[in-house]
Structure 1
Amino acid sequence: MKILVVIGTRPEAIKMAPVIRALQSVPDQVDISVCSTGQHRQMLDQVLSLFHIRPDVDLNLMRENQTPSQVAAGVLSALDPLLAEMQPDWMLVQGDTTTVMAATIAAFNRKVRVAHVEAGLRTYDRENPFPEEMNRVVADHVSDLHFAPTLQARAQLLAEGIPARSIFVTGNTVIDALLWAVEQPLTETARQELLDNHLIRHVQEDSRHLILVTAHRRENHGEPIRQICHALRNLAQARPGFNIVYPVHRNPNIWEPVHELLDKVPGITLTPPLDYLTLIHLMKRCVLILTDSGGIQEEAPSLGVPVLVLRKTTERPEAVAAGAVRLVGVETDAILQEVDRLLDDPLAYQAMAQAINPYGDGLASERIVDVLLSGRCNEFVAGDRQPARIDPGGMI
């Protein structure tokens, strides 16, 4: 079986790395090629290096300040001749980036079957997140095989007429990656990164006075990121015993307002984006995480760290329902109110910290490879889009 894996960003690489490694472990059954579009060049390369994955093809599409349409155009035009030359049996993609959306269309046009990892996530709001919500809808409806992380994701696919026999509930591969990463010692690169950013004591000491912040999404550009920064500034002033660490995305729409409002504020450390392993070691020692990241919503519950989500909505409601995550939005007062509630109420804090992670057991990648190799994926005939009955309680 010939499989082409296409990845473009750091989150894709993190979540696809366990699948790639599992496929590479059976070379007698799978001829696997990895294609990087380079949508997020530097951060993508860090993750691939950590997992000892070297792309077979690098499309090198990264450019300064690209629009989603420019990224999509680049992926479509670059993948088309590659698919024609390689003629894989399957193309694997993960998530909801512009790389994923464009890659599925390129494969469809070349009549290459597509398997979508992390299928079925929805907010039902085209603007939140933007453009990810429409990217994943397109990817799911073009794909032939859907690896849903949860039963709710499966139910959402069924409700849209995706055939039940094309959906497999696997858990989320991010847990596979996380459970591997937490067992790894700090690399010399990660240790130097901690030293350079004055963070090494947070890893060496389990003080539980560390608050980690990540915020970068496109819908938080402009006034929302300024509101978030005002909340962090007020929080640092009100709680001088805590240390707030914010790895700042390089996008000027985030970098510039964050540094304008938070640079040199006592109690706040601004760093460049951190290596995945460095970030995981910091997360393990946090008392709280404030984020708009999807992956962190999935990872943190396994580490026993409460998460406040800096968004209006989330495509990961399972963690909210489990009690591990709370949506707080982006308004300054709302953020501060929820932080105070958690830090001042031990019972509320423990309820979140002890919630069960609903995203799996670390075996998702094995289930995905089992489906691909068992032949069950070949039972689905591309183009069959008959409406299916919703059965959220069942599992394929």
Structure 2
Amino acid sequence: MKIAFVLGTRPEGIKLAPILNKLKDNPDFATLVINTGQHADLLDEVLQTFAIEPDYNLKLMKPNQSAELVVHEAIPVISAILRKEKPDLVFVVGDTATTFTGAFIAFHERIPVVHVEAGLRTDNPYSPFPEEMYRQLVTRLATFHLAPTEQNKENLIKECIDVRHISVVGNPVIDALFYIHHNVPPAVTEISQYVKSNKKLILLTTHRRENFHHLTQIHDAILEITDHHKEVEVIFPVHPNPNVRNQISKSMREHESIHIIDPLDYASFTYLLKHAYLVVTDSGGIQEEAPAFNVPVIIVRDSTERTEGVEAGTLILAGTDKQIIKGTIENLLTDTSFHQHTAEAVNPYGDGQTSERIVEWLKQYLSRHQS
């Protein structure tokens, strides 16, 4: 059985890599990796780390590219590849322009689509934008839905997805995180300067386009925290998107305790994540990754599609108001029992065995279609 994996961003590479590596030595499955190049350098580093060589690299990344441009340019190329290769299944993951495009084309080619990380919802089409709508569109295009949690499964059932086509498997990002932590050494000489025994490390990431007009509020909260808490050190890896960098340059002033750095390789980022006291982020994946290391997460967005983490207590949805963000950080810094309670809450997103469950699902699928 031939399986095509369509990916293009760093998070997609991280989540699909454990599945691809589990399939490498299985003679029943041939894998085909199609890389749109939506996040060129960031994804290349991840694929190299996991020793994955794409069969096709479309190199679609351009300066200031828009999501719709990725879709526009990828459609004819991926369509030609699928017609030539004729895979039996197409795997996509998450909620990006690449995800939607892969599912859209496979549907037109009448190839069953398997959606990894299915069923996440905020039910607000503009938060996060455009990811929420990509998720919902891919659900309509997909044949099979591999959901991280029972809540994701329930979301899909409410949308009339056939329960027989939904499997709860966890999220493979946890598999990737544990693999990196145990097998790939970080560039410690470059980042160990930020990990100090007498400091509480806050890892900050902000890059969502719908958050651009909130960045001043978010960053002012961080600046005021570092002004009043000398024990705090902030590490801020900045997304390479020039639009993001321009916005950040307007909203974040220099501060001796805030280190604005270039994007880190995944092993180094994992090292910092493990040593962080808390995370402040508008990212999606970090909401799943940090709890695996018992690190509390403050979400600086108006909504989250990962509601299980909020309910479990691993995530705190603070929104984008400066005073609320500042107060939430203050509570975690000063209330030891609150920090401990948040850090020790059970991570609902997986146990590191998701890729094995997905391979087992594929074996059962193959068995049904051979008989």
Q: TM-score band, normalised by the shorter chain?
A: over 0.9
Query: In structure 1, how many angstroms separate the alpha carbons of the residues matched to 2:180 and 2:253?
Result: 31
Q: Does 1:324 align with 2:314?
A: yes
Structure 1 runs of 4+ aligned residues shifted over 4 Å read 205-208, 376-379
Output the TM-score relative to the length of structure 2. 0.96
Partner of 1:348: 338
Query: In structure 1, how many angstroms separate the alpha carbons of the residues matched to 2:199 and 2:20?
Result: 35
Partner of 1:86: 85
Q: 2:206 aligns with which of 210, 215, 218?
A: 215
Q: 2:324 aligns with which of 331, 334, 356?
A: 334
Q: Aligned partner of 1:16: which letter?
A: L
C-alpha distance 178-131 of structure 1, shift in aligned 2 (>3 A): same
- Cα distance, 1:288 vs structure 2: 0.8
Q: Does 1:296 align with 2:286?
A: yes
Q: Aligned partner of 2:65: which letter?
A: Q
Contact 1:17 1:51 in 2 (8 A): yes
CA-to-partner distance for each residue in 1:14-66, whole Å, 9 max, x for gaps? 0111011111121x101111110000111111111111111011011111111
Higher relative contact order (CA 8 A, sep 6+): 1
Partner of 2:192: 200
Structure-to-structure mapping, 1:108-257, within 5 angstroms: 108-187=107-186, 190-191=187-188, 195=190, 199-203=191-195, 205-207=196-198, 209-221=200-212, 223-257=213-247
Partner of 1:25: 25
Partner of 1:183, secondary structure, is helix
C-alpha distance 185-46 of structure 1, shift in aligned 2 (>3 A): closer
- Cα distance, 1:378 vs structure 2: 5.3
CA-to-partner distance for each residue in 1:340-365, whole Å, 9 max, x for gaps? 11111111111101100011111111
Partner of 1:375, secondary structure, is helix
Q: Matched residues, percent identical?
A: 40
- Unaligned segments of structure 1, at least 5 residues: 380-396
Contact 1:115 1:143 in 2 (8 A): yes
Partner of 1:182, secondary structure, is helix
Partner of 2:265: 275
CA-to-partner distance for each residue in 1:268-288, whole Å, 9 max, x for gaps? 000011111111100111111
Partner of 1:384: none
C-alpha distance 154-377 of structure 1, shift in aligned 2 (>3 A): farther
Partner of 1:371, secondary structure, is helix
Q: Aligned partner of 2:79: which letter?
A: D
- Cα distance, 1:185 vs structure 2: 4.5
Query: In structure 1, how many angstroms separate the alpha carbons of the residues matched to 2:367 and 2:41?
Result: 34
Query: In structure 2, how many angstroms separate the alpha carbons of the residues matched to 1:378 and 1:69?
Result: 38
CA-to-partner distance for each residue in 1:294-324, whole Å, 9 max, x for gaps? 1111011110111000100000011111111
Contact 1:46 1:275 in 2 (8 A): yes
Query: In structure 2, how many angstroms separate the alpha carbons of the residues matched to 1:142 and 1:354?
Result: 38
Q: Aligned partner of 1:123: which letter?
A: T
Contact 1:34 1:57 in 2 (8 A): yes
Contact 2:64 2:243 in 1 (8 A): no
Contact 2:215 2:251 in 1 (8 A): no
Q: Aligned partner of 1:94: which letter?
A: V
Question: Which piece of structure 1 moves more, 248-257 or 7-16?
Answer: 248-257
Aligned residues: 369
